[in-house]
Structures are given as structure tokens and as C-alpha cells.
Amino acid sequence: MVKILIGYASDYGTTKKMAQAAAEGVTSVKGCQALLKNVEDICSEDMTSSAGIMLGSPVHMGSMDWRVKKMIDTVCAELWMNDMMNGKVAAVFACGGGFGGSGGGAELAMLAMLSNFAELGMLLLPLPKKINYYQHGGLHWGPCGRSGDANMKNVGVSSAVIHLTKQHAIHLAKTALVLANSDIFQN
Amino acid sequence: MVKILIGYASDYGTTKKMAQAAAEGVTSVKGCQALLKNVEDICSEDMTSSAGIMLGSPVHMGSMDWRVKKMIDTVCAELWMNDMMNGKVAAVFACGGGFGGSGGGAELAMLAMLSNFAELGMLLLPLPKKINYYQHGGLHWGPCGRSGDANMKNVGVSSAVIHLTKQHAIHLAKTALVLANSDIFQN
Amino acid sequence: MVKILIGYASDYGTTKKMAQAAAEGVTSVKGCQALLKNVEDICSEDMTSSAGIMLGSPVHMGSMDWRVKKMIDTVCAELWMNDMMNGKVAAVFACGGGFGGSGGGAELAMLAMLSNFAELGMLLLPLPKKINYYQHGGLHWGPCGRSGDANMKNVGVSSAVIHLTKQHAIHLAKTALVLANSDIFQN
Amino acid sequence: MVKILIGYASDYGTTKKMAQAAAEGVTSVKGCQALLKNVEDICSEDMTSSAGIMLGSPVHMGSMDWRVKKMIDTVCAELWMNDMMNGKVAAVFACGGGFGGSGGGAELAMLAMLSNFAELGMLLLPLPKKINYYQHGGLHWGPCGRSGDANMKNVGVSSAVIHLTKQHAIHLAKTALVLANSDIFQN
């Protein structure tokens, strides 16, 4: 079995709901199992035993949630130092209030998470525009939920975004299966 | 009179319409005049004779339009080399199809333009969320028009975005007036 | 007196050393005083009572330190919500191992901090290339210390970077004095 | 045979030299052939007939060269519209004066190119730190040449960077072979 780690932080449950959809997506792929964890509970072994990682964060002040970054600094940095994750595959998603209707800072938030995975030597999985429902929550870096409306009222995450996130996780699982046992970075 | 240069590229006229609103905004500020130019017509003297610059670009494939970049490479690079723009003030805006509803790559497009202005030693003007109509086309880096709908049909730019862009230009003009004759970067 | 807040996180003391140089720079400007604080000790009132803010972070895994982000999420987010910081001025600096000799991720780390300040409606101060010693630790987004050598040995931060950081703080203080009592963002 | 397209723009020949090393790397992988082209000569068919693409750019004013962006806007945008590149693999490299010693804007330049490839639905290949010579020109987004010294004198690109770029191309070719005939993005 190929294991995929789904990590998330969540304030009001929307990012968590996206993470749960991702776990369902992984489980639906034959030969893959999901490990769904709040970032505060992720340890090194969760990372090293997984063939792929999907990380989701609330968007706060134009970048990722501090709890996600704490996990990166305290868990991933050592894996980077010891070259433990090279050649695995990574994907990200985000959820924010989206005030302004222009992404609300989701792009830099997702890039900061992808930066960590690039440092770890992991292939980065994009979200192609042809995926169903892309028009209702897609960004090329990954699915983007929007939990707030134009009055900053929390309206939860749409079913379209849930679908997109599940699909993104299916792609991640499939990619991990394809890459398994390949040894791209020999030196 | 303090001169503000408004530069733009445009495919279907939406970014140009935003640029025209910006020029109106500048003109409405006492003591300021606007120089509105397609990027293909901008020369060094347009830059050096201006106290502030506002640059707008269509969003293509997640970054700025190539014509905007050509102007930067062929006009701004030499001004950077000769330290000609330090201490002036800059602002940006963008307009894209916005497919996906998550900004569609506008953030990196705007950051690439801001990167040029930071290289030039210019202060960067943000768009505060309290500005009227921010909820209908605001990003902290500047106003973001969206010209396409969920079916990629061109629907033009909204009056809210036009208002935001005009207001952003007013702030730029006011900032240029405040900074005029200050000499922040003496060494 | 105009107050400038210098915030930092530090692992081995290099980012702190840069912060101390920044505080010296602020103090050297007539009419300005520095408030030097570890990010873990910064409260809302430190922010609102300051005319300018300079924030420095270690670079970890291609973005800012989680403690800096925690301060942003827990202190700045509320100030954003209540429009408390508009029109002030911000600057950033960073220090990392710099393995690879190509910045080591400092650029996205600095942009993530600047993203927070843009959200807060603050003007962003660049580091012009003409500043003395720029060639030994300058990036247009701010001073960049490098604490590691090509063998990942900690070699501390150079006197050139210390000089650059002090100078950047002087510019910040001067800008805060120029902007004081201007009211750029009236609506 | 699996074909890998190597595209580049070049001012003084350094980025071209890196591109030539990349082509050599591809050719050294059994079953792979390289198509080396100046971006000004790249057509749609070069892209669609390739299993992987490596794109290199000079760094100008903190982002990619305008000629590279022109190719993206005029060639890639249509391929995005028609979903022609999904599931292929992409990598980038850059070369700049590097004045300041902190990357000189290479990171945003590389991210802008990667943004295009993410839009195209292509997997993004990182540069792991364990690769030989990483310490002399590596960034997690790809190899970074530095052609200028601290006095802005053109000193050409180092043999370490040439080696890194060749190695990056080998990884790209290997990844393309592994991904060939997989169909990750079915919907």
C-alpha cells in the first residue's frame, strides 16, 4: 500500500472539511491509503513513511497559518537536512475569507507551502484548469476554498471546492503510484 | 506640478479602462497631473520626470503581460543601473480573466511589477481593505479587475474596480506630494 | 517623538544582531525612538503606537520563521480587521543559512512579511542598490544576512549586513517622519 | 524516444551555456533526445511533441526576461486554453548578475516561469540540495547561475552551475520517462 499524508490546520472547520475530502479521494484510489492529521500531530515518521503529502492551510494575512509553519520548521527542516524526502510528490490547498474577490493572498500562502516541498526535493503537483469545477475554486497551485462572502460573513466552503480537493488528492495518489520505486535523484 | 505616470498594456480594453480611471484620479488631486501611456510608448524621460508611477498589466499565464516586461527590461533596467528613481512612489493594478475565482495568478503578476519598482528604490503603495468597493476587486497589492466570467466569456471590468483604481491613483498622487523634496536615501 | 518598532525572531543570535543594528539606526535619527522586541513579546499596542515597523526573520524552508508568523496571525490580523495601521510604513530583513548561494529562499520569506504589511495598508520601503555595502547582502526587498558558509557551518553575520540593516532602519525612520500627520487613505 | 524541449533567452551567452549543458544532460539519458531552442524560435508543436520542458531565463529587474514571457504569452497561453500539456513535467533555471549576493531576484523570476507550467498542468521538478555542487548555485526551484561579481563585472557562469544544470536536465528526462503513458489527470 502507498500511503498519502493529508495535513491541515483549521479555524472554523472549512480547511478541515477540505482535508477530509482529500482523504476520501486518496482512499478511492486502489492501492492507496490516507493518513489524515492536524498539523499539530504530525511527526517525522508520518512524513518519511508517506509516498505523497498534501498540505492545506487557512490563509491569514497573505500567507499560511502559523501552525502549519510551525510543523514545517520543527518537522520538515530536519528531513531537509538529512535528504529524507527527495523524489516524493506534494500538493497543497488553501481556504481563506477571500475578501476582495481576487484570491485574498491565497497564492503566496500556497507558494510558501510549495517552497517547503521544493526544498524537500519533492515533485509539485499542479491543478489543471480542465478539472471539473475548476471555475468555482481553482488556482493553478491547488484548490482554493473561500469561506467568507463580500460582507466577511462565514459562509463555509462550497461543494465545488470540496469536489476539486478530492480530485486533487486522487491525482496526488495516482502520481505517487507512478513514481513509486523510481529513483530520479541519484546524485 | 507633480507628474504621475500611468502605464498600461491592454488586450481588449479593460486594463486600459482601468488606466484611464487612474489618470482621472490623479487629475482630481490638486497640484498633480497625469501622463497616461501605453507601455510601448514609455521612454526613460517619462519615468525620471514623474514623482510617482502606476503600472497596470493584463494577467497572462500567472504573470505580467510580455509588453509590460519589455518596457521594464528596456527602459527601467538602465534607470536602475544609474540609480535614477530612488525615493519615488509606485503602485500597480492588474486585470485578468480570473478563471477559478481565486485571483487567477494576479498576485504573482502584481508582485513581479512591484519587484521592478523595489529594485528601482521606490516606495510601494498598498491597497488598504477599508477603501470603498475593496470587496469587489481588491487585493492588498492593488486593484484587480476581472474581465471573464465562470464560462470564460468576456464581461468587461466592473464599475467597482474602476472606482478602486481611481481611488488607488488618488492615494498615489497624495503620497507623491507628501514625499516630494524629501531625501530619504542619502546613502 | 516618532516611535519605530523593530521586531525579530532569532535562533543563534544573528537575526537579533541585525535587529539591534536596526534599533541603533532608528535612534540615530533625530526625533525618533526605537522599540526593540522579540516577536513573542509584541502586543497590539506596540504596533498601533508606532509610526513605522521593521520586522526581521530567520529563513526556514523557504519562508519566514513560525514565531514571526504566529505574531502576525495573533496580533496583526485583528489590527487588519479594524483598519488600525493604514498609512504607516514598513520594512523587512532576513537572515538564513543561504546554502546554494542564490538567496536560499529569502525572497519569498521577505515577501510573506511584506504581504502582511500590505494587508495592513502600510507603505513598503525597498532597499535601493546604491546603499553602501548593498553588494554584500542586499536584496531589493531588504537586507539579507547569510549566517552559513558553503559547508553549512555557522559563520555569523557580516559587518556589511549589519551596516546595511542599520541604514535601512535609518531610511525607515526618515520615511516615518515625512509621512507623519499625512492622511493618504481618507476613504 | 522521449523528447525534452530546452528553451532559453540569453544576453551575453551565460544562460545559453546553461541551456547547452541541459541539452547534454538530456542526451545522456537512454531513450531521450533534446530539442534546444532560443525562445524566439519555439512554436506550439515544439511544446506538444515534448514530454518535458526546461526553460531558462536571464534575471532582469527581479523577474524573467521579456522574450521568455513573450513566448509564454504567444505560445503557451493557447496550449493552456486547449488543455494540451497536462501531466507533462517542467523544470526551470535562471542566470543573473546576482548583485547583492542574495539571489538578486532569481526566486520570483523562476516562480513566474513555474507559474506558467503550473497553469499548463505540468508537474514541477525541484532541485534537491543533495545534488553535487548545490552549494555553488542551487536554489530549490532550480539551478541559479551568477554571471556578475560584487563589482558588476561579467565573470561568466561557473562550472559548478553548468554541472548542476546538466544534472537537473537528467532528472527531468528521467521523470519524463517515468511519467510517460501515465494518465494522471483524467478529469
Q: Compute the nearest-CA separation of A135 from chain D (Å).
A: 13
> Which ipTM score applies to this complex?
0.98
Identify whether the C-beta of residue D18 lies closer than 8 Å to the C-beta of residue D56: yes
Indicate yes or no: pTM above 0.80: yes
Q: What is the mean pLDDT of residues C68-91?
A: 98
Quick check: A132 contacting D, CB < 8 Å?
yes
| pLDDT at site D187 | 63
Query: Which of A169-173, A179-183, B15-19 bottoms out in mean pLDDT, i.e. has the lowest?
Result: A179-183
Q: What is the mean pLDDT of residues C68-74?
A: 98
Cβ neighbours for D64, distance < 8 A, ≥ 6 positions apart:
B63, B69, D57, D58, D94, D109, D112, D113
Q: What is the mean pLDDT of residues C112-134?
A: 98
| pLDDT at site B187 | 63
Phi-psi sector, C66: left (phi>0), alpha (psi -120 to 50), beta: alpha
Cβ neighbours for A75, distance < 8 A, ≥ 6 positions apart:
A42, A43, A44, A47
Closest CA to A119 of C102, D96, D5: C102
Cα separation, C151 vs D153, in Å, equals 26
| pLDDT at site D164 | 98
| pLDDT at site C68 | 98
Residue C132 has its nearest CB partner, among B118, B120, B187, at B187
pLDDT, tens digit, for every residue of D77-101?
A: 999 999 999 999 999 999 999 999 9
Residue D21 has pLDDT above 90, yes or no: yes
Quick check: C179 contacting B, CB < 8 Å?
yes
| pLDDT at site A41 | 98
Quick check: B37 contacting A, CB < 8 Å?
no
C-alpha cell at C46: 506596540
Cα separation, C114 vs C155, in Å, equals 27
Q: What is the mean pLDDT of residues D136-161?
A: 96
| pLDDT at site B183 | 86
Residue D181 has pLDDT above 90, yes or no: no
| pLDDT at site A138 | 97
Identify whether the C-beta of residue D25 lies closer than 8 Å to the C-beta of residue D170: yes
pLDDT, tens digit, for every residue of D35-57?
A: 999 999 999 999 999 999 999 99
Cα B150 to chain centroid distance, Å, stands at 26
Residue D186 has pLDDT above 80, yes or no: no
Residue D122 has pLDDT above 70, yes or no: yes
Split at pLDDT 50, 70, 90, the class of C186 is: confident
| pLDDT at site D183 | 86
pLDDT, tens digit, for every residue of C19-30?
A: 999 999 999 999
Pairing of strands D2-8, D32-38: parallel
Cα separation, D22 vs D26, in Å, equals 6
State whether A77 and C63 contact (CB < 8 Å).
no
Cβ neighbours for D84, distance < 8 A, ≥ 6 positions apart:
D44, D47, D48, D120
Quick check: B80 contacting D, CB < 8 Å?
yes
Split at pLDDT 50, 70, 90, the class of C90 is: very high
Give partners of B (≥3 CB pairs < 8 A): A, C, D
Query: C106 to chain D: which residues are within 8 Å by CB?
Result: 102-103, 107
Selected residue of C64, C72, C73, C75 to mutate for chain A interface (largest A Cβ count, 10 A): C73
Query: A61 to chain C: which residues are within 8 Å by CB?
Result: 72-73, 76-77, 80, 115-116, 119-120
Quick check: C133 contacting D, CB < 8 Å?
no
Quick check: D184 contacting A, CB < 8 Å?
yes
Q: Compute the nearest-CA separation of C145 from chain D (Å).
A: 8
State whether D126 and A123 contact (CB < 8 Å).
yes
| pLDDT at site C187 | 63
| pLDDT at site C181 | 82
State whether A65 and C74 contact (CB < 8 Å).
no
Q: Compute the nearest-CA separation of B19 from chain D (Å).
A: 21
Identify whether the C-beta of residue A86 lies closer than 8 Å to the C-beta of residue A185: yes
Residues C26, C94, C161, D109, CA torsion sign: negative
Q: Compute the nearest-CA separation of B105 from chain C (Å).
A: 15
Q: Compute the nearest-CA separation of C119 from chain B (Å).
A: 5
State whether C119 and B126 contact (CB < 8 Å).
yes
| pLDDT at site A187 | 63
Q: What is the mean pLDDT of residues D152-173?
A: 97
pLDDT, tens digit, for every residue of B14-47?
A: 999 999 999 999 999 999 999 999 999 999 999 9
Q: What is the mean pLDDT of residues A76-84?
A: 98
